[in-house]
Amino acid sequence: MCATCAIRYGAMHGVSFATSPTTVVCNQRARPDDERPLARVAGKTQRMSEHLRIAIVGAGAIGGWIGARLSASGHDVSALARGATLAALREHGFRTHEAQRVLTARVVASDRATDLGVQDLVFITVKQPALAEVADALVQLTGPQTILVSAMNGVPWWFFAGIDPAQGGPRSVWTPLQSIDPGGTLCARMPAERILGCVVHASCTTQSPGDVVHKGGNGLILGEAAGGPSARLSRVVRMLEGAGFDATASERIQKDIWYKLWGNMTMNPISAFTGATCDRILDDELVNRYVQQVMAEAAQIGSRIGCPITESARDRIEVTRRLGAFKTSMLQDVEAGRALELDALLAAPREIAARVDVATPAMDALLGLTRLFARMRGLYPH
């Protein structure tokens, strides 16, 4: 960032600068309405309309990126974290590398939800295997008006809240998915009426705990779990736009979730057990053909649950190919020794398929191979 851009950024966001002009440091706290920070949206400068208490549960790559932006735009942001991430956040706050700048933003971090208190908004950005572990904390952060923003990969526990049972058989088909919510515990503790679903279209990695690199993409799609418009959905979208995200509202967020899943349910697991980057996966003729078989099964499931896919698998693969030689998040998890989120990406779609009578031999094989690989390395439970 040049000096001129740095001055403009400081004027917009009310931030101060460290010695290097490429480092943006935000230590702002709550301020009166007439002093709230300015944000640039679609080329226009506008003042934030609300000052919110926001918690990030899962301060990894995506959570850290979102948290830094929201803190820099003037909200009181806290993070539930532990271990090295907690230590890093306490030491230097959120730190995000974006384009030619490093954004460092204030955050209150703790490993106890009771230290953070009830929030206006809670972003759930943990990996699916960790969700059950943080369920108690999420309840402690939630008050009567708290909105939970579910920004996780794959099929979420509340997925069927906005699905019309007439799309795929009797209501019994749409009971909680045992692969991701055994016994319906999550649905009971975090019901759909509290949820805004969020689909993230961005690439971020952590180069060290609490230190995030944003590589591309700026999209957040949000929608009510039960579908349709709402005042709170519009309010949250505006708030995220004010923080610099390309945020949009969806009439039916399940369609957006299923579309993203259709595109990444193959690349992630195949890269995990082969160690290959996506270009190598797609360059192999036999593997490419297999990827399309899994995508065809997922598209068929989508057609049975009101989430049709209108794009061809080949066209979607070409989009992925243009991204070049990149490591998927699941391959990064393997290399870091972290548990793999196979249930949300593969086990849940397979369970849905069984409920709507779609055969999934290719998907079954992919789940079986990746699950065995992960179990042999202690990355998936036996």
Q: How far is the C-alpha of 340 from the C-alpha of 370, rounded, in Å?
A: 9
Read off the amino acid at residue 96: T
44 is catalytic: no
State how far the Cα of 56 lies from the Cα of 109, in Å rounded to an integer.
9
* Long-range pairs for 5-14: beta carbons < 8 A, 24 or more residues apart: 9/101, 11/38, 12/37, 12/38, 12/39, 12/40, 12/45, 13/37, 13/38, 13/39, 13/72, 13/73, 13/74, 14/38, 14/74
The token pair that represents 366 in the structure block: 């992919």
Angle between helices 267-274 and 285-304 (to 10 degrees): 140
Secondary structure in 3-state letters for 64-100: HHHHHHHHHCCCEEEEECCHHHHHHHHHHCEEEEECC
Strand bridging mode 53-57 / 76-80: parallel
Strand pairing partners for 119? 142
Of 76, 62, 69, 60, residue with least CA distance to 28: 76
Q: Are 270 and 281 in contact (CB under 8 A)?
A: yes
Name the token pair of 142: 């939630």
Coil, helix or strand at residue 153 = coil
Query: Buried (b) or exposed (e) across 319-347, using 16+ Cβ within 10 A?
Result: ebeeeeebebbbbbbbeeebebbbbbbbb
How far apart, in whole angstroms, are the C-alpha atoms of residue 93 and residue 68? 8
d(CA 272, CA 84): 24
127, 255, 260, 327: the active-site residue: 260
CA neighbor of 109 nearest in space, from 136, 82, 137, 146 = 82
Instruction: List strand residue ranges (DSSP E) for 117-162, in order.
Output: 119-124, 142-150
Residues pairing with 149 in the sheet: 123, 196
Residue positions annotated with a catalytic role: 260
